[in-house]
Structure 1
Amino acid sequence: MVEESSLARLSPTPEYSGALAKEYTLDIPRIPSLELPLRVSSKPQSVRKAVQMCGGLQHVKEALNERRGLEDAQKGLELYLNEGKDAHGSDQFFNEHPIIGKRVPFRDESVILKIQVPQGTMARFGGDVKQALASLNSKEVRVTPVAIVNNTIKFREMSDFQIRLDNVPSAKDFKNSFGSLEWGNFKKYVESVPDNDSRPFENISKMTVNRSEKCPSNDFQLPPPPRFSMVGLPLLYKYTTNPFAKREANGTTEVSSTYIRNYQQFVHDVAEGTSIPVKPHELLQKDFATAQATGVYPGTKKESKFYESLLECVEILKRLFEERSVWVKRHLDGIVPKNIYHTIKVALALVSYRFTTGPWRNTYIRLGVDPRSSPEYAKYQTEYFKIERKMLKSPVASKNIPRPPPPVFESDAPGDIDSRFKFNGRQIPWYFMLQIDLLTDEPNIREVFDKAQFLPQANELTGWFDELDLAKIRRIVKYELGCMVQGNFAFNKYKLKYYKSMLYVKESMITGQKKDTEGDIDMAELNHDKQSISDTATPNDIEEAEEDEDNGVATGEADEVVLAAEEADEDDNIRVDVPEGDDEVTNNHDDDEDAADADDDEFDPKSATFQEIIERISKINSETAQRLARDLNGFIYETKM
């Protein structure tokens, strides 16, 4: 097959000086093709069977219809390896999910050639076309283009498990009863089962275990499982090639960058008896010792100077972890110099470990430091906040929420956390995963923090804090953050006083109160709390504070999508060599204009949030963006379907 865009010509050779290949017009039929993961012969019965396994000729035509909309085209063509469905539309043999075939978008059109050779040539070479053509001269071969393939369906997903039970008596009985949904068949099937079967596994015990001998299918007397998977469609694995791999002229594939493992250590339990790492991973220590002896870090090239950059990065991190024992990686991204940033994951593994659960989840903790050992580490606990979808749909919110920083940036406080990560009640922070000490610039939260009585022992849910103190902090952040997103920076002082003086996490949790003779709760203590808010507060102010829920902000458990991105450090494959001419790490984001350009280049529609895509659309067509923001609620991630 040759590409349509190029008309084949033979280059002049000494033997055929000046000879050119015959030219053909491509005014020939355009035809679709169906590439099946089956062995299909040219016999009519083989072709008919293959088409039937795809649901019939009509289904194939519909899948190849180029006039179908994009949504219909994505449904694809279903290939059932159990020979499809029966005349009633049900699975003939109970079982499996189909393989989904998709139309190949933007496929280059290919030409189908008819090649004629002298009779007996193919038989002489056992059907090998390449050898047959090599044995002939050009005058003995006739090549004619007959059609152009301009529409192709390919099957590239993995098959689900298959099972054939069409010859199993018990399976047939099961299908004829439960499969028919007729009460008479149900009753007959149930009555045929002995009440006390003394030999329920008789057939199984007689099954042949010698794999060299064929096991009769009628020995398997269990009913078939209705599905091998909990989902209605096969899992789409989305296999992709390595973006840094390139194919050489000789056909071999090479990776243009080097990858090494970082061996980051994780602790999966916050319980008291769980030990914490005091040294880097053994394999990491071994690699580092090799680098010290040779001057080259294993898996990298000497000219990349990865080891020298790693040493510099480790020294910086050691100093930072001396000043602050617990860090969030996003904060370090603005402190570590850009020219050595590509070593940060390995450097972090050399000086820190991580918890995968509990109040310090998603932070990097200095090796040997146990935040469960002292309340002094309470200020490093993390709290998660996110703007609810109903508020994100507001055009005002999209203007007020700041865009997150680029992957590599420079902190506005040299050697310290960028001020735009902090919550002070006057600005919306860059990042909604906040450590407690990044909240204390807000006066009301500082007041709650200073009065907090720490627990005698840290727990997995609230760390060192009492649940009520954390509830107060969360309510203040949610209220103020929700107001700022809506453009309101004048907070209700009565609400803030109410949050600071709450007696219970929730009103419904009131327990242990004195009760009168009728069994009602004595509300004197609770009312005293309300009266102490302010003598000038109106009853309406108190009622609004009580009824206020989240103000459009959620808290508590971390958003799984955000954590998935944050915990990408678990990926052991780290690119460490910067390709020649690539100044991505050293030169990006030198000024605001460059940062904007780089941000455009880094935009990925597959990982972008709903709000980011709406913002992109609004730059091109504001009316369409407004309609989508109004009519759509956001995305449903494939992992949660």
Structure 2
Amino acid sequence: MDPLDSPADAGPSQAPARPLPTTSIYAVEYPGYVKLSSVPQAIENLGGQACLENAFKRTNADGLVELKLRPHNPFSHPIPGETVATNNIVLKIVKRKRKQARAPYADGFEGEYTATAVGVATKTVRFRSMADYQYQPNPDDSLVKLRHAMETMDIQGIRSYAFPEEKEDYGIEVGASLSLAGPVPRHATDPNLDPQLLIMTEEQDSTSSPIPSTEGPQAEPITTASNLRMFPPPVFSRQLIPMNYGYKANPASVVSTVVDEKTGEEKKRLINRMRWKGLGPASIMFQDEKVPDKPPQSVEAMRSQMDGTLLQKMQEYFAVRPIWTRHALMNQFSVAQAREIVNSKVLLPLVCYVFQDGPYRDTLVRFGYDPRKDPSARFYQRIYFRNSNHPIERPSVVNKRQERSSRTEDHGGSSEAERKGSHIFDGVTLTKETAAFQLCDITDPMLKQMIDECDDLRDVCNERDGWYTTHSLERIKTILRHKFFSLLDGYPATDEECAVLLETQSGRERLASRHVPRPGKHNMAKGALRPEDAAALRLRATLDRSIKNVPSQKQ
């Protein structure tokens, strides 16, 4: 016998290769039982044939399909589904049937199925999100009838709507069994009951034999049910994916014993250990007369838990300079120390307070120091203007780590020097895409000269312009804005451009603004040029610079 023909050495048999059909099929994973007779109803619940076709024509990100289990109820919230790209093989399964209905199964006929590939599902609609909460208002309410009339374009129903009289009967008494209207249903006394369980319970009560009463009929206790005319919002919950809580209680919640101040009774309640404890810096308005001279009591109680060396270093910085921006102060420390200051939440409130408005808005001020009474505090005023072209993006932890590692490998010590000087504006280097500088941190020669001028100052600190007059501060802001946006465009602005820019504003009146800002409203962007005006000024400066370069090129 040939050893190659022995069954022991024979390898496993392979399935034959079959070509896949080129037919492209779109599929819908309908979250429910669908029979052949209920296919039209399922398509109607999905929005109709046209809605499905449009969803499959769009891209995967825009292919939203809503499943409405009650399509004719406008208060029913749909289940969102998304269209995803798939490569699923669609099979046609055929079960072989026996020829004789009463004859026993023949050999080879039982359990025989034939699978044939009919196409490939390139797109599939999937429903993986949780269904939103459902709430059905009273169908007899006039507003509900108006909503149905608007959906069906019932003109008569819309015209017949009238605002109902507000009776303020937010609670009604229900539950009396012996009444002229008969027994009150159980769902009227307890609206929190599951309707399906309620039906099952009522069926059991009807089949069970009643227990005779020896004292005669008694009425059930009357309870109060809600009669609020509540209508559901478009969405109750934005949570689409269930939380993986593992059937465990919140580990951050602890049981705490509290005493009622009125009755003196002890009660137990859950308290979140991770809750916000109100450890922010003390804050005042510009109109407040006194400034804080010590931290809040809740912050002072945690002084012993802080790093004494780091706290002493912060106090030394505030002794040299009484007002800092948060960015400038963090640049004085290493990355690890700055991270510790931010994470502690207590170090800053122990050494400074903040203004909520005015020229020193969002700056860190040393305790006991009032910049409104010291004219030399004008150098600590903060100038801020928005960059409308800078999109606000959510910071990514992964990108931050990658940028941190790349800076460490490529730049080494140079990145640390750039970070420590990122709060300084010199008119040549662009350190960030948002403009928020203190006047003492501006080292540009032209701006520095304008800031140091003391001929055009106020006698009393102003809420909008600080110690500078409106005219002088507007000149500083105009040049700073032009130089900053020029750096964003890729070139440093020259002093000649800035001089031309100031000449265009020389004809304006140098009167103080009559606008009095309301307390609690910031005024940082007051007097800023409109985006089109700022763009026109930058374009004019570019054209002037190009005209100056034309004669030199001809020579």
TM-score normalized by the length of structure 1: 0.46
1:496 aligns with 2:502: yes
SS of residue matched to 2:383: strand
Work out whether 1:423 is the aligned partner of 2:425: yes
Aligned to 1:272: 288
Give the equivalent residue in structure 2 for 1:321: 318
Q: Secondary structure of the equivalent of 1:433?
A: strand
Structure 1: distance between partners of 2:170 and 2:144: 16
Compute the displacement of 1:264 (Å): 5.7
CA contact (8 A) 1:327 1:363 kept: yes
Report which of the two structures shows the higher radius of gyration computed on alpha carbons: 2
Aligned-residue CA RMSD (Å):
6.0
Match of residue 211 from structure 1: 191
Higher RCO by CA contacts (8 Å cutoff, separation 6 or greater)? 1
Q: CA deviation at 1:144?
A: 8.7
Q: 1:368 to 1:387 in 2, by over 3 A?
A: same
SS of equivalent to 1:552: helix
Matched position secondary structure for 1:350:
coil
Counterpart mapping for 1:147-296 below 5 A:
151-155=123-127, 162-165=134-137, 167-168=139-140, 170-171=142-143, 173-175=145-147, 184-190=156-162, 200=167, 205=172, 208=188, 210-211=190-191, 228-229=233-234, 265-267=280-282, 269-270=284-285, 271-272=287-288, 276=292, 278-279=294-295, 282=298, 286=302, 289=305
Corresponding position: 1:100 with 2:113: no
8 Å contact from structure 2 (residues 79, 127) kept in 1: yes
Name the CA shift for 1:492/1:360 in 2 (closer, same or farther; >3 Å). closer
* 1:475 paired residue among 453, 475, 478: 478
Answer whether contact 2:34 2:42 (CA < 8 A) is retained.
no
Structure with higher strand content:
2
| 1:276-303 deviations in Å (ceiling 9; x for gaps) | 58448848965963xx8xxxxxxxxxxx
Structural mapping, 1:26-425, within 5 Å: 34-35=28-29, 38=31, 40-41=32-33, 43=35, 49-63=41-55, 65=56, 68-70=57-59, 73-81=60-68, 83-84=70-71, 92-95=72-75, 98-104=78-84, 151-155=123-127, 162-165=134-137, 167-168=139-140, 170-171=142-143, 173-175=145-147, 184-190=156-162, 200=167, 205=172, 208=188, 210-211=190-191, 228-229=233-234, 265-267=280-282, 269-270=284-285, 271-272=287-288, 276=292, 278-279=294-295, 282=298, 286=302, 289=305, 314=311, 316-332=313-329, 334-338=331-335, 340=337, 342-346=339-343, 349-352=346-349, 355=354, 357-358=356-357, 359-366=359-366, 371=371, 374-387=374-387, 389=389, 418=420, 421-425=423-427
For 1:132-188, what per-residue CA distance to the aligned partner results, in whole angstroms no more than 9, with x for missing partners? xxxxxxxx9999998987644344556666443584253454246555666654444
CA deviations 1:564-586 (Å, max 9, x no partner) are xxxxxxxxxxxxxxxxxxxxxxx
CA offset at residue 551 of structure 1?
2.9
CA distance in 1, matches of 2:304, 2:35: 64
Is the 1:411–1:418 Cα contact (8 Å) retained in structure 2? no
How many residues matched? 402
Shift of 1:425: 4.7
Instruction: Spell out, residue by residue over 1:585-618, the C-alpha distance to the aligned partner (whole angstroms, 9 max, x if none).
Output: xxxxxxxxxxxxxxxxxxxxxxxxxxxxxxxxxx
Secondary structure of the equivalent of 1:496? helix
Q: Distance in 2 between matches of 1:75 and 1:464?
A: 54
1:319/1:32 Cα in 2 relative to 1: closer, same or farther (>3 Å)? farther
Cα distance, 1:266 vs structure 2: 4.4
Partner of 2:457: 453
Matches within 5 A, 1:434-449: 434-439=437-442, 441-443=444-446, 446-447=449-450, 449=452
Give the TM-score taking structure 2 as reference length.
Answer: 0.52
Query: What SS class does the counterpart of residue 168 from structure 1 fall into?
Result: coil
* Structure 1 residue 60, shift from structure 2 partner: 3.2
Shift of 1:383: 1.4
Contact 1:168 1:221 in 2 (8 A): no
- Sequence identity percentage: 16
Helix, strand or coil at the partner of 2:65: strand
Query: 1:267/1:283 Cα in 2 relative to 1: closer, same or farther (>3 Å)?
Result: closer
Deviation by residue 1:208-244 (Cα, 9 ceiling, x = unmatched): 453367999xx9998885x725xxx9996798999xx
The Cα shift of 1:474 comes to 1.6
C-alpha offsets along residues 49-80 of structure 1, whole Å, 9 cap, x if unaligned? 554322134433543x3xx453xx32223324
The residue identity in structure 2 corresponding to 1:210 is D
Q: Deviations over 1:395-453 (max 9, x none)?
A: xxxxxxxxxxx999999899998556433455556452111222364445643552353
If each structure's helix is expressed as a fraction of its own residues, which one has the higher value?
1
Q: 2:292, 2:353 within 8 Å by CA — same for their partners in 1?
A: no
1:538-566 CA deviation, whole Å, 9 max, x = no partner?
xxxxxxxx999953399xxxxxxxxxxxx
Give the match's secondary structure for 1:83.
coil
Read off the aligned partner of 2:280 and give its amino acid letter.
Answer: Q
**CA 1:436–1:201 in structure 2 vs 1: closer, same or farther (change >3 Å)?**
same
1:551 to 534, 537, 540: 534
Cα distance change, pair 277–417 in 1 and its aligned pair in 2 (3 A): farther
Q: Which runs of 5+ in 1 are unaligned?
A: 1-17, 85-91, 116-139, 243-258, 293-309, 391-405, 511-545, 555-641
Q: 1:357 to 1:35 in 2, by over 3 A?
A: farther
Shift of residue 374, structure 1, vs aligned partner:
4.3
Structure 1 equivalent of residue 435 of structure 2 = 432
Output the CA distance in 1 between the equivalents of 2:505 and 2:532.
12
Distance in 2, matches of 1:181 and 1:94, equals 14
1:159–1:187 CA distance, 2 compared to 1 (3 A): same
Which letter maps to 1:272? D
| Shift in alpha-carbon separation, 1:220–1:329, aligned structure 2, 3 A | closer
Change (3 A) 1:212 1:500: closer
Aligned residue type for 1:228: P
Alignment-mate amino acid for residue 552 of structure 1: A
Structure 2: which amino acid aligns with 1:434?
A: F
Letter in 1 for 2:64: L
Matched to 1:59, the amino acid is C
Q: Secondary structure at the match of 1:336?
A: coil
Letter in 2 for 1:168: D
Contact 1:448/1:473 (<8 A) preserved: yes
Structure 1: distance between partners of 2:192 and 2:275: 45
8 Å CA contact 2:341–2:348 kept in 1: the answer is no
| Residue identity opposite 2:510 in structure 1 | Y
SS at match of 2:317: helix
